[in-house]
Amino acid sequence: MSLPDTSTDTAFRKQAPAVLLMAAIFLLNFTGRVILAPLLPTVEADLEITHAQAGMFFLFVSAGYLTAMSGAGYVSARLTHHRTIVLSFALLGLSTLWVASATTLTGMRLGVFTMGLSAGFYLPSALATITSLVTRPHWGKAISIHELAPNTSFIAVPLLAEFLLRSLSWRAILFHFGIVNFLASGLYAVAGRGGKFTGEPPALAVIRRYLKNPMLWVVLVLFIMGVAITLGVFTMLPLYLVSARGLGEGWANTLVGLSRGACPLLALLAGWAADRFGIRRTLSVTLALSGVTTALVGLVSDSWLAVAVFIQPSVAVGFFPAGFTALSAMDDAQTRGTAVSLVVPMAFVIGGGVIPWFLGLSGDLGAFDLGFVWVGLLTLAGAGVALLYRPGAS
């Protein structure tokens, strides 16, 4: 009887430290896009701005992210993926310091736009680097490790903000975060492995072909709703809990952070469900349940509010394993990156930018609760759109 071949496992263990380093800096990268969420009640009071103006910060972050993702291929084609990642964190550090020192609404908007721009250069180069470091049989494990960063950020950022706000101002918190990003840029410049090759800008012919594919627009709608029920809700939930439900800022951030505690495990279970029950059914059921639970956040009484806040992200996190599988099934590996660059940034602009602004505007109109109900109803409509998805259709 032959012994099992462990050579590939040994190879992956050798590359695991490099993947873990990238996961750690991805945690910082994603944090740069959501760090304002738990600080928003304090920022709003300090700058004397409305809920809608506060929510619009995330629209500017998402617009910057869209701009960078659209041009990331051109940057990496000149700098290499390794240098693009170093540049991304250096710019993120600089832009965070800008936001920390901004005293006007215009200055804040320009600063957060630059934060989104800086963060947007990272992901395309990171995925190219990971898949060059790790052999194909281990891509799934490596990317899964890397993708733990967003869910970890959702948990850690509110809890860390609640702790730091006891002794630091929001400006001081952002100042220290900016310094950490400068350090991350230097660390990756020295210790980062792989990615020392140039990228390729997207081909216009491939873009035109995708834009004519009806399934691209179906998947785009689904991703907009997926981002809305995860990032969009997360960014405005602390402000909603404080201003509309009367919770203390510390308790609101603690509740939001703890409610995401099971999400990493649930995301893995959702990936299993997509394989077991099919992409279309998983997407439809996930969006339907997410629509109901998002609406419940705005409908339930105060005594049931904590339950609704815990259930909503636990259901919503199930979208992305099936969503990215649906996106990946649209075409072959050579052009798949173009689909990602078209769908993901636009979904973040609307789901992670327009939706927070809409929720803030609802708060200004005295209908913060109703804003969450409308987002829930739109997500229910997205569950119907999911039934139109057909892999490989064009």
CB 101 within 8 A of CB 171: yes
Q: Which residue has the tokens 């892999």?
A: 391
Claim to verify: residue 230 and residue 169 sit in the same structural domain: no
Which residues are CB-neighbours of 98 under 8 A, at least 6 positions away? 107, 110, 111, 114
Q: What is the CATH number of the domain that holds 68?
A: 1.20.1250.20
CB 13 within 8 A of CB 145: no
Kindly state the DSSP code that residue 248 receives in the 8-state scheme.
Answer: -
Claim to verify: residue 227 and residue 308 sit in the same structural domain: yes
Residue 105 covered by a domain:
yes
Residue 125 covered by a domain:
yes
Domain of residue 86 covers 15-201
Instruction: Read off the tokens for 219.
Output: 């998947």
The torsion angles phi and psi of 364, rounded to 5 degrees, stand at -65, -30
CB 132 within 8 A of CB 198: no
pLDDT at 2: 40
pLDDT at 3: 43
Claim to verify: residue 279 and residue 167 sit in the same structural domain: no
Claim to verify: residue 186 and residue 314 sit in the same structural domain: no
CB 118 within 8 A of CB 92: yes
Among 140, 171, 201, which residue terminates a domain? Answer: 201
Letter for the amino acid at 317? V
pLDDT at 9: 59
Query: Is the pTM for the entire model greater than 0.85?
Result: no
Instruction: Please state the separation of Cα 265 from the chain's center in Å.
Output: 17
Residue 10 covered by a domain:
no
Torsion from C-alpha of 265, 271, 272, 275, nearest 10 degrees: 180
Q: How many CB atoms lie within 10 A of CB 182?
A: 16
Residue 8 covered by a domain:
no
Nearest to 296 by CA among 353, 380, 364, 352: 380
Claim to verify: residue 237 and residue 314 sit in the same structural domain: yes
Nearest to 55 by CA among 347, 379, 368, 316: 368
Nearest to 117 by CA among 221, 33, 223: 33
Instruction: Please state the separation of Cα 75 from the chain's center in Å.
Output: 22
Total tally of structural domains belonging to the chain: 2
pLDDT in tens, 184-199: 999 999 988 888 888 7
Nearest to 124 by CA among 295, 301, 283, 336: 336
pLDDT at 4: 43
3-state secondary structure 68-132: HHHHHHHHHHHHCHHHHHHHHHHHHHHHHHHHHHCCCHHHHHHHHHHHHHHHHCHHHHHHHHHHH
Residue 130 covered by a domain:
yes
Q: How many CB atoms lie within 10 A of CB 49?
A: 18
Percentage of the residues of the chain whose pLDDT score is greater than 90: 36
Claim to verify: residue 225 and residue 363 sit in the same structural domain: yes
Claim to verify: residue 156 and residue 245 sit in the same structural domain: no
Claim to verify: residue 139 and residue 220 sit in the same structural domain: no
Claim to verify: residue 191 and residue 215 sit in the same structural domain: no
pLDDT in tens, 247-262: 888 888 888 888 888 7
Residue 4 covered by a domain:
no
Residue 2 covered by a domain:
no
Claim to verify: residue 289 and residue 226 sit in the same structural domain: yes
In whole angstroms, what is the distance from residue 59 CA to residue 228 CA?
12
Claim to verify: residue 242 and residue 120 sit in the same structural domain: no
Letter for the amino acid at 99? V
Nearest to 123 by CA among 221, 223, 22, 198: 22
In whole angstroms, what is the distance from residue 330 CA to residue 205 CA?
16
| Per-residue pLDDT tens listing for the chain (394 residues) | 344 444 555 666 777 788 888 889 889 988 988 889 899 999 999 999 999 999 899 899 989 998 888 888 888 888 888 999 999 999 999 999 999 999 889 999 999 999 999 998 888 888 788 878 877 676 666 766 777 788 888 888 999 998 999 899 999 999 999 999 999 999 999 988 888 888 777 777 777 777 787 888 888 999 999 999 988 898 899 899 999 998 888 888 888 888 888 777 777 677 677 767 777 888 899 999 999 999 999 999 988 999 999 999 888 888 877 787 777 666 554 455 567 777 888 898 899 889 999 999 999 999 999 999 999 999 999 999 988 887 655 4
In whole angstroms, what is the distance from residue 156 CA to residue 289 CA?
25
Q: How many CB atoms lie within 10 A of CB 340?
A: 17
CB 192 within 8 A of CB 82: yes
Among 142, 172, 201, which residue terminates a domain? Answer: 201
Claim to verify: residue 195 and residue 247 sit in the same structural domain: no
pLDDT at 241: 93
